[in-house]
C-alpha cells in the first residue's frame, strides 16, 4: 500500500512545512495596508499559514501507516487551516486579478473537497484523489504567490519592498519606469 520511497515524500512534507513556517512571518513583513480589518485578516491568514506549515511537518514526521491519528491531525492543520489561510490572504492582500481569480475559484473547491473527504464522499476520486484535490490548490497558490512577490521585487529593483508600494510604482506596459528618489 505504501511506496518503497515514502521516506522522500515525508522529507518533502517536512521541507514544505519548514518553508511555510519560515516564510509566513517574512512575507507578513511585506504587508503594508492601512485598513484595520484587512490587517486583522492578514495576521490571521499568515498565522494560519504558519500553523499549516507546522501541520505539514507533523505529517512528514508521522506517516499514516505508523501514526494514523497524529497524521490526520497534521493533515487537518496543513490542508484545512492552510486553505482557509490562503482564502483569507486572497481577500486581504492587494493582488493582481489573475492571482485573485485563481484563489477565488480554487479555494472554495479545496474547502469543499476537505468537507467531502471528511464525510467519506470521494466522488469517484478515491480517498487519495480527494485528499490531493483538497491539498494541491493551496500549494499551487502559494507557489504562484511566491513568483508574484519575486517578480514584483525584480520589477522594482528591490530585494525588500512592501506589496502596496509595488502596485503604486509599477509602470504600465510600454511606459519607462520612474527612477526612485
- Measured CA to CA, the distance from residue 28 to residue 13 in angstroms comes to 22
Predicted model pTM: 0.77
Q: Quote the pLDDT of residue 169.
A: 47
- Asked if 21 and 53 touch (Cβ cutoff 8 Å), the reply is yes
Tens digits of residue pLDDT in 33-72? 778 888 888 899 999 999 999 999 999 999 888 888 999 8
Mean pLDDT for 125-150 is 86
Using pLDDT thresholds of 50, 70 and 90, give the confidence band for residue 161. very low
More confident residue, 146 or 179: 146
- Measured CA to CA, the distance from residue 165 to residue 100 in angstroms comes to 18
Amino acid at each position: 500500500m505504501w511506496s518503497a520511497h515514502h521516506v522522500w515524500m515525508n522529507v518533502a512534507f517536512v521541507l514544505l512545512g519548514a518553508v511555510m513556517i519560515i516564510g509566513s512571518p517574512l512575507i507578513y513583513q511585506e504587508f503594508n495596508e492601512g485598513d484595520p480589518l484587512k490587517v486583522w485578516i492578514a495576521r490571521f491568514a499568515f498565522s494560519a499559514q504558519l500553523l499549516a506549515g507546522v501541520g505539514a511537518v507533523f505529517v512528514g514526521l508521522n506517516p499514516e501507516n505508523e501514526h494514523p491519528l497524529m497524521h490526520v491531525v497534521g493533515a487537518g492543520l496543513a490542508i484545512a487551516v492552510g486553505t482557509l489561510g490562503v482564502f483569507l490572504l486572497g481577500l486581504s492582500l492587494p493582488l493582481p486579478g489573475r492571482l485573485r481569480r485563481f484563489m477565488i475559484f480554487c479555494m472554495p473547491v479545496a474547502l469543499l473537497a476537505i468537507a467531502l473527504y471528511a464525510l467519506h464522499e470521494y466522488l469517484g476520486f478515491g480517498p487519495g484523489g480527494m485528499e490531493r484535490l483538497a491539498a494541491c490548490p493551496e500549494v499551487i497558490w502559494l507557489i504562484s504567490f511566491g513568483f508574484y512577490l519575486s517578480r514584483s521585487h525584480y520589477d522594482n529593483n528591490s530585494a525588500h519592498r512592501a506589496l502596496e508600494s509595488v502596485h503604486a510604482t509599477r509602470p504600465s506596459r510600454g511606459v519607462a519606469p520612474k527612477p526612485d528618489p
